[in-house]
Structure 1
């Protein structure tokens, strides 16, 4: 049983119910130090089972520790491909693979999960657009696969023609599941911004048939990953054409260590004080998600030409998987409408995406 499995959660829930029953049965038995020891042991067991159940339920929602190796202290990245929840009956299903990333620029070397559309194998001479998909915190790349069912959505949208065949990368955003980086270069910590914007694209271009030009690269993320998608797009318009934020924020909400959380890593500050890049930005949230909607409205008020802005709101919904599942297909379709199409003419050839104006 994985640490985020339903079976483990069910077992712990049963033990949580049985623990007080056991405590009541043995509470007044015996005397002296033995009774004291039994009381302390059973009371401790009640607390342990309750805490374990709550933490497992939270982990199942966030998938912070999807495997025992993650929980016991292994690195955040994993070369294992998460179990694909699709039934196998989806039209033209894509497949998952893993690519190694040598942290030449960042010093961070973590493998990256990659979705390859069916056309990747059917058209061996083509080069495909790329989307980097960024998860929330706590979370992991596996959350996209198991929590958000991304493979089924991608298969469906591509098969229906609403989305061009696209390679989607799911890079880790931290070297430690307990460390929130918000995709920044932490002072004295991991350089995740450099990893995501330099090392990951370099590895993808070297190991996969993907477009090398900016017109073929986009970003998407939910929650903290939504902030990452917006922030990295604005900071690196030479590398990415478009980005989509689902329930994202305007600032990292952490201490980066160089003060940039109040300036260049605060997207409101950036939009007010720095030249605006020619990029396409998609901001979406549920209106009842107060924090995300407030920041989405603030960014939307500041973003103007040459930024091409699109906003989308669900009338109700929380900061949760159900909301992101509802927003996910349209966001991927929107990104695909901006990115350059698959090309058979070389690394950067073929039809260019629309200009962001």
Structure 2
């Protein structure tokens, strides 16, 4: 039974109810002072608490997509290896392999030319040798005959930490939202590349090129766009790619757009922070390299480096988000840079969660689409 499956959650919840009922039934019989009665009461209370903790944890994980599998939870992921797709009809072979093909969740119909397609892929960077699974959303136009020779802009979409890439499809509804926005005439068709910023699980690399470790920033700035462009009809040029993320992914999106404006013409951070943390999940990201530490601090970049020629979007809420004051400060700092554009989504209230981000995603996709070119 999978970690995110109802076949795991439902038995855990039923076990909690059964243990609670058992405790109520047996408690009068254990209301004595002997060691056996005391041990029985302690055991029942412990069992109920443990079962409740497991049930709540499973429900929270299923809702927010922290871990995708038991192996992911216990840091035992082994999803590595270089893969090359030789399927006839691809633009060229490269380090990207399609492993699953499906429709858009929440939308009826199975014809790609009507509802688009979501593909699960394995990507391995040729230069950085980082492997990561991802989901690719291809809009209906990608499969329609009249667009046979057309290329499409693309946007990388990142989760928070630890996050699961599938949550971007099933919980945050990126493909479904993009499909509806195009039908409503609010955005142009766009390819979405959805994955975790955690490319070396369980470590949180914060999209940093770690000395002697994963070169995560370079993977997102070089290898990922290259692999996707080789496999799909992605528009080539300096205004072809955008990047979106929430929480940790939001920090990564802003940083990648600021550091690599020639790659990412737009970067949107939903509930982002603006400086890479160092904690038990990250380990030592900088190995004493002060220049690398400064580079990962967006406040330092805005103060000491020229403004990058890119467009940024940040989001927060007046009540419920811890980054509200920092976000207002960030907006003012960016406004002082003549070559950098800044936009924002500020809600009256909303916590650091999926529900808040789902309220911000439609406007974010529309904003990104308006800044990217196609042909």
* Alignment TM-score, normalising by the size of structure 2: 0.82
Determine the structure 2 residue equivalent to 1:307: 340
- Counterpart-to-counterpart distance in 1, 2:175 and 2:164: 15
Secondary structure of 2:123's partner?
coil
Q: Which protein is richer in strand relative to its size?
A: 2
Asked whether the equivalents of residues 76 and 174 of structure 1 are also in contact (C-alpha less than 8 Å), the reply is no
Please give the root-mean-square deviation of Cα atoms over the aligned residues, in Å: 2.8
Cα pair distance change 1:17/1:196, threshold 3 Å: same
Cα deviation, residue 239, structure 1: 1.1
Cα deviation, residue 261, structure 1: 7.2
Secondary structure of 1:297's partner?
helix
The more displaced of 289-298 and 207-216 is 289-298
- Counterpart-to-counterpart distance in 2, 1:82 and 1:323: 27
2:98 maps to 1:74: no
Cα deviation, residue 134, structure 1: 0.8
Cα pair distance change 1:38/1:133, threshold 3 Å: same
Determine the structure 1 residue equivalent to 2:65: 63
Cα pair distance change 1:179/1:54, threshold 3 Å: farther
- Counterpart-to-counterpart distance in 1, 2:44 and 2:245: 44
2:123 maps to 1:121: no
Cα pair distance change 1:142/1:260, threshold 3 Å: farther
Q: Give CA deviations for 1:218-255 in whole Å, capped at 9, x if unaligned.
A: 11111111111101111111211111111111112235
Asked whether the equivalents of residues 75 and 175 of structure 1 are also in contact (C-alpha less than 8 Å), the reply is no
Cα deviation, residue 188, structure 1: 4.1
Cα deviation, residue 104, structure 1: 2.1
- Counterpart-to-counterpart distance in 2, 1:205 and 1:97: 15
Cα deviation, residue 34, structure 1: 7.2
For residues 11-22 of structure 1, the aligned pairs below 5 Å read 11-22=11-22
Q: Give CA deviations for 1:252-302 in whole Å, capped at 9, x if unaligned.
A: 223523456751111111001101111111112222134222221121111
Cα pair distance change 1:111/1:5, threshold 3 Å: closer
- Counterpart-to-counterpart distance in 2, 1:9 and 1:260: 46
Cα deviation, residue 53, structure 1: 1.4
Q: Give CA deviations for 1:108-150 in whole Å, capped at 9, x if unaligned.
A: 1223211111111112211110100011112121111111111
Cα deviation, residue 185, structure 1: 2.2
Equivalent in 113, 138, 144 of residue 168 of structure 2: 144
Cα pair distance change 1:76/1:141, threshold 3 Å: farther
2:190 maps to 1:170: no
5+ residue gaps, structure 1, are 344-357
Asked whether the equivalents of residues 242 and 280 of structure 1 are also in contact (C-alpha less than 8 Å), the reply is yes
Determine the structure 2 residue equivalent to 1:292: 323
Determine the structure 1 residue equivalent to 2:371: 338
Q: What count of residue pairs does the alignment treat as equivalent?
A: 342
Task: Name the structure, 1 or 2, with higher relative contact order (CA <8 Å, separation 6+).
Answer: 1
Determine the structure 2 residue equivalent to 1:219: 243
Cα pair distance change 1:76/1:226, threshold 3 Å: farther
2:263 maps to 1:239: yes
Determine the structure 2 residue equivalent to 1:256: 285
Secondary structure of 2:242's partner?
strand
Secondary structure of 1:301's partner?
helix
Cα pair distance change 1:294/1:325, threshold 3 Å: same
5+ residue gaps, structure 2, are 81-97, 279-283
Q: Give CA deviations for 1:90-118 in whole Å, capped at 9, x if unaligned.
A: 99422112343222222212232111111
Cα deviation, residue 82, structure 1: 8.1
- Counterpart-to-counterpart distance in 2, 1:183 and 1:83: 30
